[in-house]
Amino acid sequence: MSSRRALLAATGTAASVGTAGCIGLIRRELAGYTPIDGPCDEPAGAWPTAGGDPGRTGRTDTAPPAHDAAAVDLLAGVRDDSQQHSSSLPVVGDGTVYVPATGGLVAIDLDAPLDGPIWNRDLDDGINAVPVLACGAVFTPGTNRLAALDRASGDRYWRADAVSHHYNDVTAAVLDDTIYVAGLSPTAVDIFTGTVQWLKGAGTTLSLDDGGVYTTRNDSRVSGIFAYDLNGEERWHVSGAFVGSPTVLDGTAWAVDDSGTVYAIDARTGDVDWSRLLPGVDRADAGLAVAGDEVFVPAGTGSTSVALDATTGEIRWTAGTGIVTSRPVVGDDWVAFGRTNDGVTVYDRSTGEERITWSRAAYHLGTIDGLVPVEDGFVIREGTSMGLSLLR
């Protein structure tokens, strides 16, 4: 593989020089450039991207916290004289949590969070989305550049002109040898060399499957879900005021619009298989979760979270969760909702019966803004304080 990566690096350099004065789409920051040459398999229990996988299914193979779990401030060992905040949800791999914090990216050992950071990298470009782990590197989508850092040391491999102007947690994901970034236009970047492969289309969120790239955009100029093949050519477009990213699994894309209507769309053709308006669901910007034959829809700014049959759209159960502004996390027989004003609650995945709640008051948490599963626990982002707690 190393010879292939060397070839990609050489090809990328030639492309950068040859086209810089022409179309300006294939460029790279060459200062301090190093290609990536690392293993690309993620271990069990990893949460390498927003939503857990490129399809944003919210699926995990970890277990939830114990009833008597304790909460630890994950940033306590990072703060010196300055206040550190979490600017988005982190990602997790090999027992390490990678946190976009004030001014940069911090790596923290989940088993010893109070011992200080493994490394703390200042960046000259703000991170405005969840990072991505792949091939021994952590990728940081920024307002001006996509940067690739070594996971063990924080040293930089490369930077690429893949711009993410929108403050959105689901901006980047990896499929095979390519990292895709949503922004003013979706961008495909070679994961090893940082070479920009294509730059086109519309979309401020992004999901992937083996057949394509799926984005949503909702503004005064363009609204809807857009599907592209892996070469960046548009396959279909479904108009609508969609919020959050699509969730893609087994040839179907599910998404919700700003009225609380959920759609199941054939990912190859763009045909709508079914749609269902859900009373009690409103502005579910964080997106859905899908596992097996079930779709889990957070309440958003509404009052009720819902489980649907993935094939028919029929309601299986509802739960009075109150506001839920984060994507659900789905385990083998459970689903967890970060209830913004109340705490974290685990429900039985089949019946919707409440199993346990870790309340905000009891654990002195801010508003619940997002969940990341770890072995026997959750990392919780607290929206009001931009803090980060480990519940385990």
- What is the pLDDT averaged over residues 216-228? 88
CA-based radius of gyration for the chain: 20
Q: What is the β-pairing status of strands 28-29 and 71-73?
A: unpaired
- Classified as helix, coil or strand, 313 is coil
> Tell me, what's the pLDDT at 381?
95
The pLDDT-based confidence of 199 (bands split at 50, 70, 90) is: confident
pLDDT at 12: 40
pLDDT at 67 over 90: yes
Those residues with Cβ within 8 angstroms of residue 27's Cβ, 6 or more apart along the chain or in another chain: 16, 20, 160, 161, 196
Is residue 312 very low, low, confident or very high in pLDDT (cuts 50, 70, 90)? very high
Of 57, 98, 62, the C-alpha closest to 374 is 62
Which of these, 384, 339, 378, lies nearest to 66 by C-alpha position?
A: 378
Instruction: Give the model's confidence band at 170: pLDDT under 50 very low, under 70 low, under 90 confident, else very high.
Output: confident
Distances (CA, A) of 344 to 1, 92, 174, 305: 44, 19, 29, 13
Pairwise pLDDT comparison (40 vs 249), residue with the higher score? 249
Question: For position 15, what pLDDT does the model report?
Answer: 36
pLDDT at site 2: 36
Percent of the chain clearing pLDDT 70 (strictly above)? 90
The 3-state DSSP composition of the chain as helix, strand, coil percent (nearest 5) reads 5, 45, 50
Rounded to whole angstroms, what are the CA distances from 251 to 119, 228, 272, 334? 40, 14, 12, 24
Report, at the CATH architecture level, how domain 2-391 is classified.
8 Propeller (2.140)
- Map out the domains of the chain as residue ranges: 2-391
Q: Judge whether residue 124 has pLDDT over 80.
A: no
Neighbours of 22 (CB within 10 A): 8
Residue that the structure tokens 């959050």 belong to: 244
Strand partners, 187: 181, 199
For the question of whether the overall pTM of this predicted structure is more than 0.85, the answer is yes
Q: Of 89, 182, 177, which Cα lies nearest the Cα of 137?
A: 177
Cβ(62)–Cβ(56) under 8 Å? no
According to the model, what pLDDT value does residue 272 have? 98
Question: Rounded to whole angstroms, how far apart are CA atoms 356 and 354?
Answer: 6
Give me the mean pLDDT over the 32-46 stretch: 81
Give the mean pLDDT of 16-36.
Answer: 48
Q: How confident is the model at residue 168 (pLDDT cuts 50, 70, 90)?
A: low
Q: How far is 138 from 129, CA to CA, in rounded Å?
A: 13
Supply the DSSP symbol for 26.
S
Please, are residues 247 and 288 in contact by the beta-carbon 8 Å criterion? Answer: yes
pLDDT of residue 16: 35
Lowest mean pLDDT among 93-97, 127-131, 174-178, 205-209: 127-131
Q: What is the pLDDT of residue 164?
A: 62
Cα(203)–Cα(221) distance, integer angstroms: 12
Please list the residues that pair with 382 across neighbouring strands: 368, 387
Per-residue pLDDT of 225-280, as tens digits, reads 999 999 999 999 999 999 989 999 999 999 999 999 999 999 999 999 999 999 99
Residue 77, pLDDT score: 87
What would the two tokens of residue 28 be? Answer: 């790279």
Residue corresponding to tokens 């299986």: 316
Q: What is the mean pLDDT of residues 18-23?
A: 30
* Res. 166 pLDDT band, cuts 50 70 90: low
**Tokens standing for 110?**
């989940």
The pLDDT confidence band at residue 165, using thresholds 50, 70 and 90, is: low
pLDDT band with cut points at 50, 70 and 90 for residue 33? confident
Structure confidence at residue 18 as a pLDDT band (50, 70, 90): very low
Q: What is the largest CA-CA distance in the chain?
A: 62
Q: Are 230 and 189 in contact (CB under 8 A)?
A: no
